């Protein structure tokens, strides 16, 4: 069997990227980097849709750069492509998209959702995750409700990762080792991240917010979704796509504010998140409403890393697909 090449094409409104994977004569799959195959070459290959385990339609709001069409090109005369390799090629496109757009939390979410698919391809996976692995690990462990104690065990043991690993934090930690430079004997995992985010460089990552159900912004979403559904239904016979697109555009105009609250009597490390009020925006009266907070542990790490930083560049990035449960499903993008 001669060396075979497979392509994973990720096409968004912004760009079309093609990622190549090679399979050696011994049947070993490897990543071959980005590629520019000709249209003629692709036309002679089998073209299959990427897995629907990541589907933009699930989200209440998703930025247009994540509205992707993912296709996989397989040689027409492919020989002995096993089920694991085929599944990997169909699922990896969504992670490539998330890495490309630096949606660190989405990287972790997708990895967690299909960990068994990627388990046999650890070396390739670590290489692909490396550009956002540290931020993805931070968002996964300290930004949501996942087991911080589980990661503490991984960090303390400091063992090399093995092929077949399915723990999301362990995989991300292995991919992030080069930039995090861990030293479990001298510092805790939290101290490692304080040192990392304290470096004089720019960071850009995504995180979920907590406490959303205790703040008025969520009620605005529910009201807006009822109004939007009615509008889309009303225009269904004319142009339902246009009505739905307008729904997404309104969300995309909302501005977010992420800032420290050192005066907070409950937590002096608190970092709050406020977003343009939807009710007010529809009335043409711009104002922000409290939407929640960064999780306390993650906020404390950021505040200790940059104690003189009080406001973070931020935007509303995406909203999960269940309008009755937005806890940790409202995602903001943070830069500093």
> Is there a contact between 50 and 71 (Cβ–Cβ < 8 Å)?
yes
> Is there a contact between 151 and 169 (Cβ–Cβ < 8 Å)?
yes
CA angle (104 as vertex; 100, 152 as ends), nearest 5 = 140
First to last CA, the chain: 50
> Is there a contact between 184 and 315 (Cβ–Cβ < 8 Å)?
no
**Whether the predicted pLDDT of 323 surpasses 60:** no
Both tokens of 331, joined, read 């995602």
| Strand, helix or coil for residue 105 | helix
pLDDT at residue 235 in the model: 61
d(Cα 258, Cα 315) in Å, to the nearest integer?
Answer: 9
**Whether the predicted pLDDT of 143 surpasses 70:** yes
d(Cα 129, Cα 134) in Å, to the nearest integer?
Answer: 9
Distance (Å) of CA 178 to CA 106, 123, 130, 153, 183: 21, 15, 9, 19, 12
> Is there a contact between 289 and 217 (Cβ–Cβ < 8 Å)?
yes
pLDDT at residue 222 in the model: 80
Distance (Å) of CA 335 to CA 150, 202, 205, 272, 278: 27, 7, 7, 15, 24
Average pLDDT of the chain is: 92
| Strand, helix or coil for residue 201 | coil
| Strand, helix or coil for residue 181 | coil
For 193-239, the pLDDT digits (tens) are: 999 999 999 999 999 999 988 888 888 888 888 877 777 777 666 66
Cβ contacts of residue 15 below 8 Å, gap of 6+?
A: none
β-strand partners of 208:
331
The full length of the chain comes to: 336
pLDDT at residue 29 in the model: 96
**Whether the predicted pLDDT of 255 surpasses 90:** yes
For 101-131, the pLDDT digits (tens) are: 999 999 999 999 999 999 999 999 999 999 9
Tell me which residue has tokens 């979704």: 225
Q: Whose CA is closest to 275, among 210, 204, 330?
A: 330
For 73-109, the pLDDT digits (tens) are: 999 999 889 999 999 999 999 999 999 999 999 999 9
d(Cα 192, Cα 177) in Å, to the nearest integer?
Answer: 11
């Amino acid at each position: 069997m001669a060396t075979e090449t497979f392509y994973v094409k990720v096409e968004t409104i912004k760009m079309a990227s093609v990622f190549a994977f090679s399979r050696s004569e011994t049947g070993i799959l490897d990543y071959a980097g980005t590629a520019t195959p000709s249209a003629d070459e692709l036309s002679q290959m089998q073209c299959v849709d990427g897995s629907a385990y990541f589907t933009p339609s699930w989200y209440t709001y998703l930025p247009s750069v994540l509205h992707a069409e993912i296709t996989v090109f397989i040689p027409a005369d492919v020989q002995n492509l096993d089920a694991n390799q085929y599944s990997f090629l169909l699922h990896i496109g969504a992670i490539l998209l998330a890495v490309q757009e630096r949606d660190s939390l989405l990287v972790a979410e997708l990895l967690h959702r299909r960990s068994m698919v990627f388990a046999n391809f650890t070396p390739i996976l670590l290489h692909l995750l490396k550009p956002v692995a540290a931020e993805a690990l931070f968002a996964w462990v300290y930004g949501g409700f996942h087991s911080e104690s589980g990661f503490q065990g991984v960090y303390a043991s400091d063992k090399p990762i093995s092929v077949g690993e399915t723990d999301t934090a362990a995989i991300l930690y292995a991919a992030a080792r080069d930039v995090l430079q861990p030293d479990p004997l001298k510092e805790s995992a939290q101290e490692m991240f304080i040192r990392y985010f304290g470096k004089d460089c720019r960071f850009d990552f995504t995180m979920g917010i907590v406490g959303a159900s205790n703040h008025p912004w969520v009620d605005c979403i529910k009201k807006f979704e009822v109004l939007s559904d009615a509008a889309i239904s009303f225009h269904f016979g004319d142009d339902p796509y246009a009505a739905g697109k307008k729904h997404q555009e309104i969300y995309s105009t909302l501005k977010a504010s992420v800032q420290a609250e050192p005066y907070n009597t409950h937590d002096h490390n608190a970092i709050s998140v406020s977003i343009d009020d939807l009710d007010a925006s529809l009335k043409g009266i711009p104002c922000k409403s409290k939407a929640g907070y960064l999780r306390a542990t993650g906020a404390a790490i950021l505040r200790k890393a940059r104690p003189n930083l009080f406001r973070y560049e931020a935007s509303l990035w995406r909203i999960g697909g269940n309008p009755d449960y937005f806890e940790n499903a409202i995602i903001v993008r943070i830069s500093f």
